[in-house]
Structure 1
């Protein structure tokens, strides 16, 4: 749309039908563009959008939902038939060359779609609404340039003046100029003020662009590939599970990591798949004080959601598998001060906070924001680690995050046409160099995950039970598992394959719950020895509880090696007795104490014989006197 378009415009894309194989998100972008271009709206150039995947070593346009799961990258590209205007990507540590190839491959397909939209436009021949350009007074601009150009140039020099002071000087100069406008009728005076402010802003932008393109100088005096000073600190908040403070120039992010259980995971209602649980959540907060403003603290806006999603994509593919680390992870990034690239500071701080919490990341991750300023005659400059003014007045904001091995996330917003794939390749190469430098600094603070999680985080106790025992653990209406949770204060997750995760903030509670789960789900095995409890006596023997809910019969003939007349001569209710499982028939378990006594006696005899001593006889163990042989 032209800059002077002031009418509120809404384009709505709705999913009316989905085949469960093809994601409609890219079609929504293309259809919105086609609708706007083929209407009377002053939409100047149609765009198209495609997704590019890397499946089995081959670049694929708009991979299916199934192929996306196998793809090493997921790049969404939007552009005209002349140039790319937007890129969003998540990837599994792919190389810069692979990303550049994907951009080139995707743009070739975009050209075909744009051509089809233009054919539709030619058939419809809509009459476009005429929009006058914003009025601009060249005379006012030249007057400001002559009288105030040098002062404005000095004010925007952030090498000489810190950001806050620079902004104050610029605002003061603007107010000084506005006050000099002569008194006129209100309408004429308001128009003069608007034209003066517009000329002042144009002058400020042109000073920046002339410095970068011709004087080869950045506002803060840095080299084009120079990163601002970086400092890192971890573990600074003693009570949280993991924390990190990442500072780059005048941008600072405080990242905190909290570990939880499956109950803390976010449930997702997906279009194509069954509901899933999201175990990693990154929340980005941008409070107004971070840029010296006073505003109401409301819910997150589009900017916060977008920045958080980008940082989340950068870190998500580096997390350990859920089977190896079944915790829910919530990472919160609070921006304490901002002068550009706060989303990439979130990536760096988030990576450190995850490792500080003991999350075994595949590798540390860092992010960098790149800028591009394009002039006439193919002149351009690529800037590393752009600050606020460079982001505002530059032609491209190019954020790249990744590890030493490759890229994990990418976002690009381009304000002008004419940026070539070759420029993007150069920007990617320069971003890699910067990313490696940042990782060098981060790894001096913390190079790998801590070996133990925080003492304040829930401890994990893990065991595997037979699948047919899951019902026993849950109990009727969940009665059994609820009783364990209430008695021990733990949280328990039971997976379909029989894996049981017990989370406890205290070791004692976790140990108690673990034993209770083992007791409830244990199964007797033939030939194994158990320490049981005598729970009932009968004339023909004793019933011994091996574990809660599982009893076995210790027949009178299996109590001792000698013959006994009364079970009560050997055992009493409540006695702890070692027994061996002889057989299992259905729910009937036959036990023997005599077999263990015999094995112990034979073992002692062998030991005594080997040592030259006399054999030692054993009349038994456990409760009661041995009695005599008959």
Structure 2
């Protein structure tokens, strides 16, 4: 009845099953992930018609846990699901951080990713299946997504790394580390550890990334079998002539601004540099037409120039804006007893 696509693979001690084609078929992509009884459902919806000019990428990631996933129904005074908990918000951010940079620069179509926990095995966390499901859904959506992304949780018990430790194992682990990335690079690391040495921490990142390649290959096979039609989208061409005009108008003033240690004085100089670029390229009273760049385009070119100047200073080994070198920590002042009753 349905054109269902399923991929199953072994991921450490867990068996992961990724499925699509039966539920939420009107979404751009919808994937169900079952990791040893913890089941999450991920939907991706992308807006094909951008519709409006933006200077940002409107990506929304919502992660939601339902009490029915643990076999319960809200009762007593509260008979409905409440607002997202702190842990739900943190998991949503955990997913957002590694997928956002995998969309190409210039892609500004609205994209919504919603992850719903449908069933819970208390020993298997929802973080990893949620991240793998998001990666699989995006890879199978046809969206311009430079994935897939893999994700792994790493524990450390008795001198050995543990891939995707259970809840019981985490209680005995001196490390709880999350790593996500593509097959070529690590994109995100988040960890909690009990004073482990640096080489153990770096080894955990390398271990997690290496193990996540198994998931990446499985998601690639899954996406190839789904065979979604890629979106007809091309990155907008950079207006190199506008960037050259902006650089000519304010690069010297902007470089000087980034050598000013006082923050407020530096901000004022940056604002003056931007105004100089605006006055030179788009004089007051200019009309919006094909020959005159928009204010948004000039600001975008100005931001690129800012990034170029700051990056070049870092690469050249020059001091930071406030005069510190790369090994000096910013001075920190601590006061006690400032407030009488808090």
Classify the TM-score, shorter chain. Answer: 0.5 to 0.7
Query: What is the deviation of 1:36?
Result: 0.7
Instruction: Please list the CA deviations of residues 153-192 of structure 1 after superposition, one character each: whole Å capped at 9, or x if unmatched.
Output: 0112233xx1111112111221232133145432447744
Q: Pick the aligned partner of 2:266 from 135, 145, 166.
A: 166
Question: For the structure 1 residues 137 and 143, does the alpha-carbon distance in structure 2 shift closer, same or farther, using more than 3 Å as the test?
Answer: same
Query: What is the deviation of 1:209?
Result: 1.0
What residue is the counterpart of 1:116 in the other structure? 218
Query: What is the deviation of 1:135?
Result: 4.2
Q: Pick the aligned partner of 1:209 from 307, 311, 315.
A: 311
What residue is the counterpart of 1:2 in the other structure? 104
Is the Cα contact below 8 Å between 1:2 and 1:43 reproduced in 2? yes
**Distance across 1 between alignment mates of 2:236 and 2:269:** 27
Q: Pick the aligned partner of 2:336 from 234, 245, 249.
A: 234
Q: Structure 1: any 5+ residue segments left out of the alignment?
A: 241-630
Q: Pick the aligned partner of 2:165 from 25, 45, 63.
A: 63
Instruction: Please list the CA deviations of residues 254-312 of structure 1 after superposition, one character each: whole Å capped at 9, or x if unmatched.
Output: xxxxxxxxxxxxxxxxxxxxxxxxxxxxxxxxxxxxxxxxxxxxxxxxxxxxxxxxxxx
What residue is the counterpart of 2:258 in the other structure? 156
Matched, 1:139 2:241: yes
**Distance across 2 between alignment mates of 1:169 and 1:78:** 39
Query: What is the deviation of 1:22?
Result: 1.0
Query: What is the deviation of 1:194?
Result: 2.7
Is the Cα contact below 8 Å between 1:136 and 1:198 reproduced in 2? no
Matched, 1:36 2:138: yes
**Distance across 2 between alignment mates of 1:44 and 1:193:** 30
Secondary structure (helix, strand or coil) at the match of 1:104 reads helix
Question: For the structure 1 residues 193 and 68, does the alpha-carbon distance in structure 2 shift closer, same or farther, using more than 3 Å as the test?
Answer: same
What residue is the counterpart of 1:16 in the other structure? 118
Secondary structure (helix, strand or coil) at the match of 1:53 reads strand
Secondary structure (helix, strand or coil) at the match of 2:241 reads helix
Instruction: Please list the CA deviations of residues 439-484 of structure 1 after superposition, one character each: whole Å capped at 9, or x if unmatched.
Output: xxxxxxxxxxxxxxxxxxxxxxxxxxxxxxxxxxxxxxxxxxxxxx
**Distance across 1 between alignment mates of 2:316 and 2:150:** 35
Secondary structure (helix, strand or coil) at the match of 1:54 reads strand
Question: For the structure 1 residues 123 and 10, does the alpha-carbon distance in structure 2 shift closer, same or farther, using more than 3 Å as the test?
Answer: same
Question: For the structure 1 residues 174 and 163, does the alpha-carbon distance in structure 2 shift closer, same or farther, using more than 3 Å as the test?
Answer: same
Secondary structure (helix, strand or coil) at the match of 1:76 reads strand
Query: What is the deviation of 1:117?
Result: 0.8
Question: For the structure 1 residues 189 and 163, does the alpha-carbon distance in structure 2 shift closer, same or farther, using more than 3 Å as the test?
Answer: farther
User: 1:488-527 maps to which residues of 2 (within 5 A)?
Assistant: none
**Distance across 1 between alignment mates of 2:315 and 2:182:** 26
Instruction: Please list the CA deviations of residues 421-448 of structure 1 after superposition, one character each: whole Å capped at 9, or x if unmatched.
Output: xxxxxxxxxxxxxxxxxxxxxxxxxxxx
Matched, 1:175 2:175: no
Question: For the structure 1 residues 215 and 58, does the alpha-carbon distance in structure 2 shift closer, same or farther, using more than 3 Å as the test?
Answer: closer
User: 1:204-283 maps to which residues of 2 (within 5 A)?
Assistant: 204-240=306-342
Question: For the structure 1 residues 230 and 47, does the alpha-carbon distance in structure 2 shift closer, same or farther, using more than 3 Å as the test?
Answer: same
Is the Cα contact below 8 Å between 1:136 and 1:195 reproduced in 2? no
**Distance across 2 between alignment mates of 1:149 and 1:221:** 21
**Distance across 2 between alignment mates of 1:123 and 1:196:** 44
Query: What is the deviation of 1:215?
Result: 5.0
Q: What is the aligned length? A: 238
**Distance across 2 between alignment mates of 1:153 and 1:50:** 42
Is the Cα contact below 8 Å between 1:152 and 1:173 reproduced in 2? yes
**Distance across 2 between alignment mates of 1:133 and 1:146:** 26
Is the Cα contact below 8 Å between 2:319 and 2:325 reproduced in 1? yes
Query: What is the deviation of 1:122?
Result: 1.9
Question: For the structure 1 residues 19 and 228, does the alpha-carbon distance in structure 2 shift closer, same or farther, using more than 3 Å as the test?
Answer: closer
Q: Pick the aligned partner of 2:231 from 125, 129, 133.
A: 129
**Distance across 2 between alignment mates of 1:220 and 1:13:** 42
Is the Cα contact below 8 Å between 2:155 and 2:176 reproduced in 1? yes
**Distance across 1 between alignment mates of 2:125 and 2:338:** 43
What residue is the counterpart of 2:62 in the other structure? none
**Distance across 2 between alignment mates of 1:156 and 1:140:** 22
Question: For the structure 1 residues 224 and 163, does the alpha-carbon distance in structure 2 shift closer, same or farther, using more than 3 Å as the test?
Answer: same
Superposition CA RMSD, Å: 1.8
Instruction: Please list the CA deviations of residues 575-619 of structure 1 after superposition, one character each: whole Å capped at 9, or x if unmatched.
Output: xxxxxxxxxxxxxxxxxxxxxxxxxxxxxxxxxxxxxxxxxxxxx
